[in-house]
Structure 1
Amino acid sequence: MTSTRAEDPVDVLAPPPPALLPPWHTPEREQLQEQARRFAMEEVLPVADELDPQKGEIPASLLTRLAELGWFGITVPAENGGLGLGVFEYCMVSEELARAWMSTASILARSQGLGTAVADADRRHELLSRSARGEWIGAIALSEPDAGSDLASVSTRAVLDGDEWVVTGRKRWCGNAKAADFIQVLVRERDPEPGESRSNGLVNLLLEKKRGEFPEGLTGYPIDKVGYHGFLTWDLTFDGVRIPRENVIDEADAAKEEGAAAERAGFAEAQKFLNTARVHTAARAVGLARAALEDSILYLQEREQFGHPIGDFQALRFAVAGMAAQIEQSRAFYRQVAHLIDLGVRCEKEASMVKLEATEMSVRVTNQAMQLHGGNGYTTERQVERHWRDARLTTIFEGTSEIQKRIISDRLLPRSPLS
């Protein structure tokens, strides 16, 4: 596969003059972004070029490097060994990693304190420290064959049997399940009462496991995907899987330990996770689009027709201009929403908006990049087909574009009682 050479990168992200810097810019963030960009181009991209065509998994050596850099704990508090930074930095690093291989940006989401909100404070602090060190990397089991966008319809059942939950059901689209240290499973502990929301009775359970193994009662098979290689995505069957009673993931109870007032709700916790995940997906989509743009700029200077580099032709130059403008717009938007999340502002609508706009943009830009590459774009000899394959998924996971439109419209235009 022809690679964008790390020593000759196309810098479409040259910083603006100081007077034009956004209010969230800091020298520390600029330094972190530059570090992430070098790492992505010099260490991640060569691995992606080798393994993605083989549908290979992220090697342990690359996970070790991510851990050494501290990026599994970007959002983990410093007192627990993390970097103590925010969603902004998490998304900024993820954009750079996705520019090389989206899976490396995605594996970060399987840490960042995920699977640590247990009731026991000492246990929680221990898991946070492991998360920051890259020793507590998980998987999320939310979706089911009949419950994807409609998580309130989750039917996987958890029944208490003494000091253990017994889990039975099926989960689908669980990335990294077998390679994980734990799986966070959304289950139904009771049916809703008449008049209650269908989301009532849901709870998140923490299934601890060994990397590379499934515990007794859990089986599955990897789903053969078009793209998004780097780790396997699983269809899982829970047949009496036993989980300790105390292994309830409860962000609200954990918050109470810190003096905050909240109520436990498995569905609400899943939604909170999805808000950050949607901004993270927007950042990954920007990284993919930027990869397609940078590769296209190189190709337009390399490819000659009619005695000229095809980058001399106005139609193609205008296409590049449009691609760059769309990328810059989506980047500014995801950074704004990440900034709001870090300030503690409720922004479900904005998270859906940026996820919708950035992912649809990424599909348009990567599709345009394939067109600019002509026949070469429709081969596996160029990276652009990988960017296009991965970008297409971003409009589907973490809630489809249609679900984002529903979330946005429901907050802008309340439904009538009869609808």
Structure 2
Amino acid sequence: MSALAGPTLPAPWSTPERTALQVEARRFALDRLKPVADELDPQRADIPADVLGEMGRHGWFGIMIPAEDGGLGGGVFEYCLVSEELARAWLSAASIIARAQGLGTAVGDPQRRRELLARSARGAWIGAAAFSEPDAGSDLGGVATTAVRDGEDYLVSGHKRWCGNAVAADFIVVLCRIEGEPGLRTLLLEKKPGELPPGVTATPIDKIGYHGMTTYDLVLDRVRVPVSARVEAFGMPVARGEGFAALERGLNMARVQTAARAVGVARAAVEDTTAYLQQRVQFGRPIGEFQALRFDLATMAARVDQARAYYRQVAAMMDAGEPCETEAAMVKLLATEMAAEVTAQAIQLHGGNGYTTEHQVERYWRDARLTTIFEGTSQIQQLIISDRMLGRVRS
């Protein structure tokens, strides 16, 4: 199977619209995005603005935004479908589209909300999420960033970690505590791309992979934000009175999309390894003729297809409005651990060449390893699943 032919959509998920969307994303990923990734990832450079502009014109920043607001009007299934195709070329490209999709549009003024949704849909309102902190990752209850009222503004101070795209973003959604109020709130910190507001300092985090989108450590020192910049449900669109349900849906959606991204990276490893086994000659014949290597490749391909079928099932459940917290955690756990193992095996099948930067399998391995960590580690997913099966362990 050629990379461009790729996996197709089987019944009951196949529609002409989805097939066209998949083919469009696949061609862009392999013809346009992958050459850029192959060149820039070793330089640890960000996705170029012109590539982001092309992605915007395809509509991928607004896959789940309603058509009347300028989006594609798709669901989680379409979002994951495109995410897999983009991740096959460069994981960061599949991640940057999550910084739109209506993020940072849940403002109070309806006209302003519609304006921001339209910008989000065309890739002109791409943000960053400042949720985690040095002492608050999976446990967001430990968030210590605080906003203090000062007239018509808040003064926000705190330390944020793992904030991808913070400098290049049009805005940053900041999770914090508002002095005198219970619980956590989100504030919309608007900014110019390439700049930081007064009081914000950003230090790049030196990662081993996941290049293409710089990740920052942020320090906020009495950053002035208007009181009107309060947004709902982590900055995502939400119906009135459905904040908690929207938050849970957002977390589930992020897990399923991460599964799709992991499948895309693992698929890249399988496709590259298939080509390598046909090209590499040892003992007078292509190494793809050796049964041990053939069987390893077959198992890798089967595991990728298994994870793909599962993420599509859970995405369809979400679009149907069915509760799927357990399934979202399961598919995130299964797909990301699969990706880490399949990409590692791809390096093994490349032999010594796999341990060089001359082949892309080392990039796939570095990126796949992260999918087991972000959006909730594998251990957090196991906790969610076991709690649903056995009940929570009492403190």
TM-score, structure 1 normalization: 0.91
Is structure 2 residue 286 aligned with structure 1 residue 303? no
Q: Which amino acid aligns with 2:195?
A: E
Name the CA shift for 1:133/1:254 in 2 (closer, same or farther; >3 Å).
closer
Identity in percent: 62
SS in 2 for 1:31: helix
Q: Provide the rounded CA distance (Å) in 1 between the counterparts of 2:219 and 2:169.
A: 16
For 2:150 and 2:237, the matched residues in 1 are separated by 24
Deviations 1:266-293 (A, max 9, x none): xx76544222111111000000000000
Matching residue within 115, 139, 150 for 1:126: 115
Partners of 2:4 and 2:26 within 8 A in 1: no
1:299 and 1:373 in contact (8 A); partners too = yes
**Which consecutive residues of structure 2, in runs of 5 or more, have no partner in the other structure?**
none
Alignment of 1:17-416 (within 5 A): 21-190=10-179, 200-251=182-233, 255-256=238-239, 261-262=241-242, 264=243, 270-415=247-392
Contact 2:103–2:237 (Cα < 8 Å) also in 1: no
Q: Residues 164 and 245 of structure 1 are in contact (CA less than 8 Å); yes or no, is this contact kept in structure 2?
A: yes
Q: Is the 8 A contact 1:190 1:201 kept in 2?
A: no
Q: What's 1:195 paired with?
A: none
Cα distance in 1 for residues equivalent to 2:298 and 2:333: 22
Alpha-carbon separation, structure 2, partners of 1:92 and 1:255 = 23
Q: Secondary structure at the match of 1:109?
A: helix
Q: 1-side partners of 2:150 and 2:12: how far apart? A: 54
Inter-partner Cα distance in structure 2 for 1:30 and 1:111 = 23
Whole-Å separation in 2 of the counterparts to 1:310 and 1:205: 56
Q: Which whole-Å CA distance do the structure 1 matches of 2:373 and 2:110 have between them?
A: 36
Counterparts of 2:7 and 2:122 in 1: how far apart (Å)? 32
Q: 1:154 to 1:271 in 2, by over 3 A?
A: farther
Q: What is the CA-CA distance between 1:12 and the residue it aligns to?
A: 7.2
Distance 1:359 1:205 in 2: 31
Kindly provide the amino acid, as one letter, of the partner of residue 126 in structure 2: I
- Give 1:109 deviation, angstroms: 0.3
- Is the CA contact 1:191–1:201 (under 8 Å) kept in the aligned structure 2? no
User: Which letter does structure 2 place at the counterpart of 1:130?
Assistant: R
Q: 1:245 to 1:305 in 2, by over 3 A?
A: same
Cα distance between partner residues in 1 of 2:336 and 2:92: 16
Q: After TM superposition, give the deviation of residue 10 of structure 1 in Å.
A: 3.7
Measured at CA, do residues 145 and 255 of structure 1 come closer, stay the same or move farther in structure 2, by a change above 3 Å? closer
Q: C-alpha distance in 2, partners of 1:309/1:31?
A: 36
Deviation at 1:15, TM superposition (A): 3.6
Q: CA deviation at 1:387?
A: 0.2
Change in CA separation of 1:11 and 1:209 when aligned onto 2, cut-off 3 Å = closer
Q: 1:160 and 1:22 mapped to 2: Cα distance?
A: 55
Label 1:311 to 1:191 Cα distance change in 2 as closer, same or farther (>3 A): farther
CA distance in 2, matches of 1:145, 1:247: 25
The aligned amino acid for 2:15 is: T
Return the alpha-carbon distance in structure 2 between the equivalents of residues 79 and 124 of structure 1: 13
Question: How far 1:22 moved relative to its partner?
Answer: 2.7
Amino acid at match of 1:307: G
Per-residue CA deviation, residues 105-159 of structure 1 (Å, 9 max, x unaligned), is 1110000111111111111111000001111000001110000111111111111
SS at structure 1 position matched to 2:202: strand
C-alpha distance in 1 between matches for 2:392 and 2:98: 34
How far did residue 34 of structure 1 move? 0.9
Cα gap change, 1:37/1:307 in structure 2, threshold over 3 Å: closer, same or farther? same
CA contact (8 A) 1:119 1:254 kept: no
Letter in 2 for 1:87: V
Give the Å deviation of 1:401: 0.4
Number of equivalenced pairs: 394
Task: State the alpha-carbon separation in 2 of the partners of residues 105 and 348 from structure 1.
Answer: 22
**Cα distance in 2 for residues equivalent to 1:176 and 1:166:** 23
User: What is the Cα deviation at residue 358 of structure 1?
Assistant: 0.3
Q: Which runs of 5+ in 1 are unaligned?
A: 1-7, 193-199
- Do the aligned residues in 2 keep the contact of 1:115 with 1:184 (CA within 8 Å)? yes
Residue deviations 1:315-349 (CA, integer Å, cap 9, x gap): 00000110011001100111111111111222111
Whole-Å separation in 1 of the counterparts to 2:321 and 2:224: 36
Asked whether the equivalents of residues 171 and 236 of structure 1 are also in contact (C-alpha less than 8 Å), the reply is yes
Secondary structure of the corresponding residue to residue 93 of structure 1: helix
RMSD between aligned alpha carbons? 1.8
Measure how far apart 1:190 and its partner are: 4.4
Relative distance call for 1:143 and 1:254 in structure 2 (3 A) is: closer
Letter in structure 2 aligned against 1:324: A
